[in-house]
A and B are shown apart, each in its own frame.
Chain A
Amino acid sequence: MKPLKPKNKTQHLVLLALLFAMAMVLALVENSLPPILPTIPGLKFGLSNIVVMYTLIFLGSKPALAIALLKGLFALGTRGAMAWAFSTFGGLFALFAMMLILFIFKNQSTYLSISIIGAVFHNLGQFLMVLLFYGVAMWTLLPILILFGIAAGVVTATSLRFLIPAFKHIHREDDR
């Protein structure tokens, strides 16, 4: 499969906007779920991080960075500074981890491994934030966050499995 290559700036912008909208919807869905810990409202499993992965894979690292930062701003607007820190740091941590894997293993890596690494590091980023803000290492959280990361990664990779053929289709029409 060839990467999705927007033909012009407008298309690029529309795609980015769509992905950002998706991130916001996922963030809202996640907000409506009960918190992992009632005492730490910013802590999330990072459904909206899925979009960062998609963007990285379909559009490349620069747009993915943009989405990660925008996602954080959305959290800032809706849930305050603490949520911004959690969201942004988790997103960036995940993004850099995925980029690193891609850089090291190149096309020997797989969608599944990248998804899992992304999700796990997103959660690890949040764990570090908890450490930073509350000065306590909530060790009980760590294994839970890792396991949820694996699960979230599998979910993402599975959905990619179905999405990529669809994107391929768009792509083919683009080429005509």
Chain B
Amino acid sequence: MMHRKFLRVVIVVFLLTIISLGLYRTKTLTDQAQHNPTPTGDLQRFETTSMDVFDSLTQITLYAENKASFDKESKVILEDLKNYHALYDIYNDYPGLNNLKTVNDHAGVQPVVVDQKIIDLLEYSKKIYATTNGKTNVAMGSVLSIWHRYREEGLANPADAQLPPMEELKAASHHTDIDSVVIDNENSTVFLEDPEIRLDVGAIAKGYAAEMVVQNAKESGTRSLLLSLGGNVRVLGAKPNGKPWIVGIQNPSLEDQDNTLAEIRAVDTSLVTSGNYQRYYTVAGNNYNHVIDPKTLMPASYYNSVSVITEHSGMADALSTALFCMPYEEGRLFAEKQKDVQVFWVFKDGSTAQTQGFKKLTEFN
């Protein structure tokens, strides 16, 4: 009799453990989706797009009370982005504005007084440089501009497309020391000590700007917003009903219909993908993308794409560039050292890999 009683107790304890474990798992998953309180009132979904900023497609999806308030909110976001774009532009001058091109043009000449937004970006970039061990370096402009020139020429004249000579790239790579970017906080100036050094914030600016713009929107009361700057996705909150945003990742190289590799449930986070499908040119039948590995000075070619999910979209942008330039083993170790960062790799053959916590983000519940 004692035995049977004991057995019963064991079974009950076992069942309770399983049930509580299950409930716990369910709860943590729903918590992610619902930690933003549902706003009262009926919010409607609105979308708009723009092709005016950051040389990419901007998409805004926003839940607002009515069309008028959506127009107001989205206009503020777009104006904000336009402002960031002008400041971080290295190709164009804007009358009455000191931007990164102004800073570049005064390399080795004199410090340039700039907007706080530029100082903040460059300070963030220096932090990122340390985090990524130099894989994401905004002071690589001299090397990138050579690639940029050859790519533009190659696209304009595909038959005569050339690769930049390695000597030219090597010579430029001697002028990429981020420490010669001198920031003077007191006088709000930036000075490039090395006359040959150039800033190119392409690896980080879109993500950083998206982050800042979304933070601004949050401060002015926006609760549910998805902002995509050419695939740099930043979401604010969940949808008003507590459901997460859904961000799909596709294999860029596959043409077939069902090429969605993963769907992320996103709440207050960002997803940035570095890939080779977007900007490339072809030399002698080979494609050369625009992500240049600082070590080899050549386009990185380990993957079709690398997606990074983390809250700060500037971080996600920078890390995705850095990881795109790392072989998988190295990248995996690097990714696992970062806090609250999930990574999804798509290899050349279409196979994928992911960090431990990534799968959880793809599950319904």
Contacts and interface: CB of A to CB of B under 8 A. Distances in A.
Report if A and B touch in the complex (beta carbons < 8 A).
Answer: yes
A81 B18 contact: no
Nearest to A41: B363
Contacts of A80: 22, 25-26, 29, 363, 365
B261 A81 contact: no
Contacts of B18: 73-74, 76-77
Contact of B262 (A38, A40, A81, A84): A38
A38 B364 CA distance: 10
B19 A76 contact: yes
Nearest to B363: A41
B239 to A, nearest CB: 15
Closest 9 CB pairs of A and B: A76-B22, A77-B18, A81-B26, A80-B25, A77-B21, A73-B18, A80-B26, A41-B363, A39-B263
A73 B15 contact: yes
Given A41-B363, A41-B364, A77 B22 contact: yes
A134 B26 CA distance: 16
Interface string A67-93: 000000110110111101000000000
Contacts of B15: 73
24 contacts: A38-B260, A38-B262, A38-B362, A39-B362, A40-B364, A41-B362, A73-B15, A73-B19, A74-B18, A76-B18, A76-B21, A76-B22, A77-B17, A77-B19, A77-B22, A80-B26, A80-B363, A81-B25, A81-B26, A81-B365, A82-B26, A82-B364, A82-B365, A133-B364
A132 to B, nearest CB: 12
A41 B365 CA distance: 10
Contacts of A73: 15, 18-19, 22
A39 B364 CA distance: 7
B184 to A, nearest CB: 51
Q: How large is the interface on B (under 10, 10 to 19, 20 to 34, 35 or more residues)?
A: 10 to 19
A137 to B, nearest CB: 16
A73 B17 CA distance: 10
Contacts of B262: 38
A29 B31 CA distance: 29
A77 B363 CA distance: 16
B23 interface: yes
Interface in B348-365: 362-365
A174 to B, nearest CB: 23
Contacts of B365: 80-82
Contacts of A38: 260-263, 362
Interface in B253-277: 260-263
Contacts of A81: 22-23, 25-26, 365
Q: Which of B262, B362, B363 counts the most A-chain CB atoms under 10 A from its CB?
A: B363
A133 B365 CA distance: 9
A15 to B, nearest CB: 15
Nearest to B29: A80
B201 to A, nearest CB: 35
Given A77-B19, A81-B26, A82-B364, 12 more contacts: A38-B263, A40-B364, A41-B362, A76-B18, A76-B21, A77-B22, A80-B25, A80-B26, A80-B29, A80-B363, A80-B365, A133-B364
B102 to A, nearest CB: 48
A131 B112 CA distance: 62
Q: Which of B21, B22, B263, B365 counts the most A-chain CB atoms under 10 A from its CB?
A: B22
A44 B73 CA distance: 44
Contacts of A76: 18-19, 21-22
Nearest to B248: A39
Contacts of B21: 76-77
B170 to A, nearest CB: 44
Contacts of A40: 364
A79 B363 CA distance: 10
A134 B246 CA distance: 14
A38 B18 CA distance: 25
